[in-house]
Structure 1
Amino acid sequence: MELLPWVSILAAVVLATALMLVTTVLNRRKLNKYKLPPGPRPWPVIGNLNLIGPLPQHSLHKLSAQYGPLMSLRFGFVPVVVGSSVDAARSILKTNDLAFIDRPRTAAGKHTSYNNSSMLWSPYDDYWRQARKLWQTELLSVKQLKLYEQARREEVSATLRDLHAAAFTGRPVALNNHLMMASLNVISRMVLGKKYVVKGSSSATTPEEFSWMMDELFFLNGAVNVGDVIPWLDWLDPQGYIKRMKRLSKILDRFLEKVLDEHNERRQREGEAFVARDMVDKLLQLADDPSLKVPITRKGVKAFTLELFAAGTDTSAATVEWAMTELVKKPEVLTKATEELDRVVGRDRLVAEGDIPNLPYFDAIVKETMRTHPVAPLLTPRQSREDTSIDGYDIPAGTRVLINVMAICRDPKVWDAPMEFRPERFVGSSVDVRGQDLELLPFGSGRRMCPGHTLGLKMVQVTLANLLHAFHWRLPDGVAAEELSMEEVFRMNVLRKVPLEAVAEPKLPVHLYAGP
C-alpha cells in the first residue's frame, strides 16, 4: 500500500510524457502544411527555448543573422515568428496590422493585469477598442497632458534640489534612484492626484516596496513562463513564476484598493461639487457612464491605473539613465548639448517643455539614445488572428509575433556605424519616434502602439534637458570611459545592470529650482 502514491505519480508522469509527445507530433504535422519562414530546427517539447539566453533580444539578433530577417521558431508548443528588419516590421505593424493585433494569453496577463483587463494585455475586442479611444480622448490627450505640465515642472525642480544637495557631498551620484523618484512623483500626481509613495506609516506603500513591485512586475511580464508555452507544465509551476505573480497581485491590489477607496470617499464627500482632479477620478467617472458599450469594472479601473503608473515610471527613468551614460562617456557630445542649452535657454531659468522644439541637437541625443538603447527591444508580443502570408511565407493563426527593435536599430543596411553613439545622424533628419518611421520604434507602431508615447517622450525630454542644463557631469575620478560597464538586464524592458554613478557640479544659481 505504501507504494501506491509513487505508482500514481509515475503513472501521471508517463501519461503527461505521452501526451506531450503526441501533441508534438500533431503540432509538427499541422505546421508542415505551411511554408514557414526559415529557422532553427526545434527540439521535441522545448522547441527552440534552449537557444534563448538571458538577453533574448541579442539571442534573436544572432539567430536572425543566420536565418534571415523573418524567422520562424518554436517556444515549447507555441509557434513564433520574429521580424528583425524594417521591411518585416512594416509588414507586421502596418500592412497586416489587423492580422497581428491580438495578444497571447499569458499567466502574467491573467495574474498581474486583472485577467487581461489592461490596454497592454487585452485581446483585440470591443473592450480594447473602447479603452484605446478613451485613453486617446480622455486620459492622454494633448489637452490633458497640458493640464499636468506644472506637476512635471515642479517634480523636475525637486529632483534638481535633491541632486544639488547630493553634489555638495563631493561623492558620485547614483542617478537611477533620483530618476525613478522623479518619474514616480510626476506619474503619481497625474494619475493618483498626490504622492502616494512616500516615507511614513500612513503611506499606501513605501518607496522600497514600490520599487520592488515595479521590478517584479516588469520581470514577470517579460520572462518566458514555461507553463505558457508547455501547458502540461503549468500546474507544476517549475520556475515559481506563477506563485510570484499571485503574491505580487495581492500586494498591488492592496495598494490600488486604497487609492480607489480614497478617491471614492472624496467623490461622495463633495457630491455635486465634485471635480475630477486626476486620471483615477476620470476613470471612476467613466466607470459610471451608462453610455459605454462595454462597462468598465472596478478591476478595469485598477488595471488601467496600474498600467499608467508602471509605464510612466520605469521606462522613462531607464531611457534618461542610458542617455546620461552615453553623454558622460562622450564629453564632446555633452559639451555640444550644454552649449545649445545655454544659447537657447540661457542661465537664468530652467528648461521648459516649450523649449524642446528649439533644441535640435538635444532632440538628436534623445533619438540616438532610443536607437542605441531601446528600453523595449522586443516590444510586447503580438499574436496572429488569422493565417497570413508575408514575403511568400505563411504565418498560421495563433502564432506569437515579435519585432526585434534592437536588431533593426543595429542594422548596417539602415544605419551607418550602428554601434556608435552619434547624435549627429539625426540632426536635420526627418526620422521620428512616433511610429511612422519603422527604423526607429521605441514606442512601437500601428494600432497597438504605446498610447502613452507623448507623455513618455515629454518626461524623458524635460528631465534630461534640465539635468544637463543645471549641472556639469563627469565620470568619477579614476573611471575611464572605456571601463564604464554597459551590461544590460532584460525584464520587459532593458536596464543598466550596474547603475550609473556620476559626479554632478552645480552650474545654475540654486534659487532657480529652490522651490517655495
Structure 2
Amino acid sequence: MFGPVMLLHLGRIPTLIISSAEAAKQVMKDNDIKCCSRPSSFGSRKLTFNYLDMCFAPYGEYWREIRKICVLELFSVKRVQSYQEIREEEVAKMIASISKESPSSSSCVDLTEKLYAAMGSMAFRVILGTSFEGSTFEHHRFHHVLHETEIMLAGFSAADYFPSKIGYFIDRISGKHKQFEERVSRELHGFFQRVIDDHLKPGRTQQEHDDIVGVLLKIVKEQTGLGSAHLGHDNIKALLVNFFLGGIDTGASTVIWAMAELAKKPRLMKKAQDEMRSCVRNIGKVSESTTEQLPYLKMIVKETLRLHPPTALMAPRESIAPFKVLGYDVEPKTQVIINDWVISRDPEFWKDPEEFIPERFDDSSVDFKGQHFQFLPFGAGRRICPGIYMATTTVELVLANLLYCFDWKLPEGMKEDDINMEETTGELALTVSKKTALNLVPVRFST
C-alpha cells in the first residue's frame, strides 16, 4: 500500500492515483471545477472517432451542453420509465430461454451468455429502436467489434505518454491502430450511419416512444438549447459508442457478480427470494414497480457494486488549475485517476470489506449518487455517470426475475467454494468482469 495519494510519472504525463475517500472528496467535490476535464491524450485513443462525446470531451461549453442533453433528454426519469415495456419484454424472453434450455433439474445454463444477450437486446431496442433480429448487422459481430473498441480504449497507447510525434510513430508501427482504423472503426461508422439513415427515411413507422437515436436526431434538426455547440451525425455516432460500451457490459457484469456471490451464500439467496415471493405471490414475474418494494434486493445491488465496482479505475481526469489534495500540491495538466476498487474495500468505512454482506446497507444512508465518497461505482461531481437511474432500474429488474423465477443450484459435484471469483485483468476491458463464465442449474419455481 503506497498511501491515499501516489504520484507517478508515466512517460511525459504526471499521474496522481487517489485511493482514499477523503482524497477522492477533495478531488471530486472540493476541487471538482479544477479537476473535471479529460486528458487530451485520452482523446487520442478514439483514433478515427475524432469527434467528441460526453466521455472524452474536455471540460467546456460543448461538454456542458452534451451532458445537459444526456441528463434532461436521454436519461431523465420520464425517458427511462418510457422504456419499461421494452425491459420487461426482454427479461421475459431471457426467462423463457433459460426455461427452454434447462428443461430438467440437472441441466446447467451459461448465465453469463444469457445476461450479455439480454442486456444487448435491451440496449439495441432502447438506443437504436430495433432488435437483434431486425438488424442487418449480426449481433455477435456487433458485440465483437464493440469489444475490440473497448480493448483499444482500455489498452496502452504510446501517444498518451510520449511526445506526440514519437508516440504517434510507435502506435503506427505497432499496427494496432491501423487495424482499428481500417476495420473496427469503419464497421462502427458504417453501422451507425445505416441506423441514422433508416431513422431519416420518409414514412418510417413512428414508435410510441422515441429511441435514443430518434431523440438525438430531433435535437440535431432543431439545434435548440445548444449554445455555440453544434451537434451533427458524427457526434451522435460517438455518443452511441459511449452508450453501448457503458450500457451492456457494466449491467451484465453486475448481475453476474450478484448471482455468483449469492450462489456462494445460499442463505442470502433464499432471504432475497423469500422477500420477492412473499411480495409478488402469484403474479409469476417481478415488474419494475414491484422492485421498489424489495429493500433487500436493493441492498444486494449496492453490495455488489461496492465489492465489484464496474470500473476499478475511473476514467482519468485532468486538472485545469492548481489545487491541493491532503496537503499535496497538484499542478495543472496532471492526470488524476480514482482507484474505486481500493476505496470500496477500505476497512475504515467497511467492516469485513472483502466479505459480501448486503445487510451492511440496512438502515444506512450511504448511497451511490456521488455524495458518499467511500462508495463511488458511478463516480461523483460533474463527471458522475448520467445513466444511474437507467442502470440500477435495469439491474434490479433482471436480478429480481432471475431470483424469483428460479431456484438456483450448483452443477453436480460442485461446492460453493469452487466458484471461481477471479476478475479480468490487464488490457482486456474497461469493465472489471468475472473471468470465467457463471454456470448454474435453474429449477423453475412454481407458485
Interval containing the TM-score (normalised by the shorter chain)? over 0.9
Residues 358 and 275 of structure 1: is their aligned pair in 2 closer, same or farther, counting only changes over 3 Å?
closer
Task: Tell me the residue number matched to 2:200.
Answer: 264
Distance in 2 between the 1:276 and 1:336 partners?
37
The DSSP-based 3-state class of the residue aligned with 2:278 is: helix
Following TM superposition, by how much is the alpha carbon of 1:240 offset from its aligned partner in structure 2, in angstroms? 4.2
Aligned match of 1:503 = 441
Q: Alpha-carbon deviations, 1:454-513, whole Å to 9, x = none? A: 10111110000100000011211112221221111142111111111111111146xxxx
Following superposition of structure 1 onto structure 2, how do residues 487-502 of structure 1 map, counting pairs within 5 Å? 487-490=422-425, 491-502=429-440
Give the distance between the partners of 1:389 and 1:108, measured in 2 at CA: 26
The alignment's C-alpha RMSD in Å is 1.9
TM-score normalised to the size of structure 2? Answer: 0.93
Q: Distance in 1 between matches of 2:288 and 2:207?
A: 30
Aligned-partner residue type, residue 329 of structure 1: K
* 1:369 and 2:369 are equivalent in the alignment: no
* Offset at residue 228 of structure 1 (A): 1.2
Partner of 2:184: 248
**Corresponding position of 2:332:** 397
Q: Which amino acid aligns with 2:189?
A: D
Distance 2:128 2:44 in 1: 23
2:219 pairs with 1:286: yes
Matched, 1:98 2:33: yes
Contact preservation (8 Å) 2:13, 2:335: yes
Where does residue 147 of structure 2 map in the other structure?
Answer: 215
User: SS in structure 1 opposite 2:113?
Assistant: helix
- 1:226-285 deviation line (CA, Å, top 9, x unaligned): 2311232321226544234313211111110110110011xx3369x8987211111011
Partner of 1:226: 158
Structure 2 counterpart of 1:184, one-letter code: G
- 2:402 is matched with 467
Partner of 2:169: 235
**Mapping for residues 358-507 of structure 1, pairs under 5 Å:** 358-490=293-425, 491-507=429-445
Does structure 2 retain, via aligned residues, the 8 Å contact 1:489–1:497?
A: yes
8 Å CA contact 2:44–2:159 kept in 1: the answer is: no
Q: Check 1:403–1:148 CA distance in 2 against 1; reply closer, same or farther (3 A cut).
A: same
C-alpha spacing 1:81/1:260, structure 2 compared with 1 (3 Å): same
Q: Find the aligned partners of 1:335 and 1:355 in 2 and give their Cα distance.
A: 18
CA contact (8 A) 2:38 2:59 kept: yes
What SS does the corresponding residue of 1:380 show, helix, strand or coil? coil
CA distance in 2, matches of 1:274, 1:428: 42
Identity of aligned residues (%): 35
- SS in structure 2 opposite 1:288? helix
| Distance (whole Å) between structure 1 residues aligned to residue 437 and residue 212 of structure 2 | 32
Aligned residue identity for 1:477 = E
Say whether the 8 Å CA contact 2:51–2:235 is kept in structure 1: no
- For 1:402 and 1:290, the matched residues in 2 are separated by 35
Instruction: Choose which of 101, 109, 122 in structure 2 pairs with 1:173.
Output: 109
- SS of the counterpart of 2:136? coil
Aligned AA (1:255): F
Q: Higher relative contact order by CA 8 Å / sep ≥ 6: 1 or 2?
A: 2
- The alpha carbon displacement at 1:343 in A equals 1.3
Distance 1:242 1:347, change over 3 A: same
How far apart in 1 are the matches of 2:13 and 2:269?
46
Which residue of 110, 118, 133 maps to 2:68?
133
Gap change, CA 1:244 and 1:270, over 3 Å in 2: closer
Matched letter for residue 433 of structure 2 = L
Contact 1:113–1:303, Cα closer than 8 Å, also in 2: no
Look up the SS of the partner of 1:106 in the other structure.
Answer: helix
Q: Give the secondary-structure state (helix, strand or coil) at the position aligned to 2:363.
A: coil
Give 1:108 shift.
5.8
Superposed CA offset, 1:86-124 (max 9, x none)? 101101111111111001123665536822511111111
Displacement of 1:422 after TM fit? 0.9
Residues 225, 368 of structure 1: CA spacing in aligned structure 2 closer, same or farther, 3 A cutoff? same
| Separation in structure 2 between the aligned mates of residue 110 and residue 421 of structure 1, nearest angstrom | 36
In the alignment, the residues of structure 2 paired with residue 108 and residue 330 of structure 1 have an alpha-carbon distance, to the nearest angstrom, of 43
Counterpart residue identity of residue 337, structure 2: L
State the Cα deviation string for residues 349-396 of structure 1 (Å, max 9, x = none): 311112222211111111110011111111111111122222221111
Deviations 1:404-436 (A, max 9, x none): 011011111111000111111111211111211
- For 1:113 and 1:184, locate their aligned partners in 2 and report how far apart those are by CA, in whole Å: 24
**Structure 1 counterpart of 2:408, which letter?**
W
Contact 2:319–2:334 at 8 Å: present in 1 too?
A: yes
Tell which structure's C-alpha radius of gyration is larger.
1
Alignment partners' CA distance in 2, 1:243 and 1:77 = 24
Q: Secondary structure at the match of 1:115?
A: coil
- Structure 2 residue ranges without an equivalent (≥5): none
The 10-residue stretch of structure 1 (288-297 or 151-160) with the greater mean CA deviation from structure 2: 288-297
Q: CA deviation at 1:217?
A: 2.1
Write the distance in 1 (CA, Å) between the matches of 2:190 and 2:230: 23
Q: What is the rounded CA distance, in whole Å, between the counterparts of 1:259 and 1:315 in structure 2?
A: 24
Counterparts of 2:174 and 2:109, CA distance in 1: 36
Structure 2 letter corresponding to 1:286? I
Matched AA of 1:302? K
Q: Does structure 1 retain, via aligned residues, the 8 Å contact 2:45–2:157? A: no
Count of matched residue pairs: 437
Q: Is the 8 A contact 2:297 2:400 kept in 1?
A: yes
1:147 aligns with 2:82: yes
Hey, what does 2:210 align to over in structure 1?
277
1:86 aligns with 2:21: yes
Moved >6 Å (runs of 4+): 273-276
